[in-house]
Structure 1
Amino acid sequence: MEIHPIRTKKDYRAALREVSALVDLDPSPRSEEGERLEVLATLVEAYERKHFFIEAPDPIEAIKFRMEQSGLSTKDLEPYIGQSNRVYEVLNRKRPLTLRMIRNLHRCLGIPAQVLIAEPLA
């Protein structure tokens, strides 16, 4: 198995093509192709982490996304945030998230705490 580090965009594109071809084969994890896929995927992930920084989403947008994703209404957020007027205030950026709200949203809706503690966009 001859694999080399991904140092350039050309290397990156070649690795992506190979990963895509291997994924299409759906190899067994213990096979030579499966092991090659695992190693290449790790290299691609490391390259992307270094070269393609992705900013954490805005906390309010993350909550709205989770609501949309899970089919939740503002009424469904009451156990995590408080009464409906408080939910509306938070979603309209009139009231900041409290530590209790952050813990509830993280624990019950699976929104990463790191996202929820970030400064909301103005």
Structure 2
Amino acid sequence: MDIRPLHTEQDYNDALKVLSALVDADPAPGTAEGDHLEILATLVENYESHHFPMELPDPIEAIKFRMEQEGLSASDMRPYLGNLNRVYEVLNRKRGLSLAMIRRLNRGLKIPAEVLIAEA
């Protein structure tokens, strides 16, 4: 097992090839191949987070995405955003999210606070 940091794009591409083969082989956890897969996945994830950072999604789009995931309607959003009129105002970008709304959305729907406080 040749494990080393990924410094270049070539290192990254080589690691992806090996990682793909390991995933296809589906080694058991705790085996040498399983450990190799776990370590290589961590190295690839670290490389990607530094070289291909993802921007936070738009807060309203994140809410709509979670609604779609959970099969929630506008009425279902009342505990998080207030009365139905306010729900539509928020979803249509006519009203911003308040701190109380952000807290409720974060606790209830598990939408990360850093996503909800981002500028729309």
Given the two structures, how large is their TM-score scaled by the length of structure 1? 0.95
1:45-72 per-residue CA deviation (whole Å, 9 max, x = no partner) reads 1110110011000100000111111111
The aligned amino acid for 2:44 is V
Determine the structure 2 residue equivalent to 1:112: 112
Structure 2 unmatched runs, 5+: none
Q: Which residue of 2 aligns with 1:27?
A: 27
Structure 1 residue 21 displacement after superposition: 0.9
RMSD value over aligned CA atoms? 0.8
- State percent identity of aligned pairs: 65
Tell me the equivalent position of 1:80: 80
Look up the match of 2:18.
18
- Paired with 2:17 and 2:46, the residues of 1 have a C-alpha distance of 16
When structure 1 is superposed on structure 2, of 53-62 and 4-13 the one drifting more is 4-13
Find the counterpart in structure 1 of residue 102 from structure 2: 102
Look up the match of 2:2.
2
CA–CA distance in structure 2, aligned partners of residues 79 and 108 of structure 1: 9
Per-residue CA deviations over 1:70-98 (Å, capped at 9, x if unaligned) read 11110000011100000000011111101
Q: Secondary structure at the match of 1:15?
A: helix
Equivalents in 2 of 1:51, 1:70: separation in Å? Answer: 32
* Residue 24 (structure 1) shift: 1.2
Q: Distance in 1 between matches of 2:17 and 2:72?
A: 38
Aligned residue in 2 for 1:37: 37
Q: How many residues align?
A: 120
SS at match of 1:27: coil
Unpaired segments of 5 or more residues in structure 1?
none
CA distance in 2, matches of 1:21, 1:74: 45
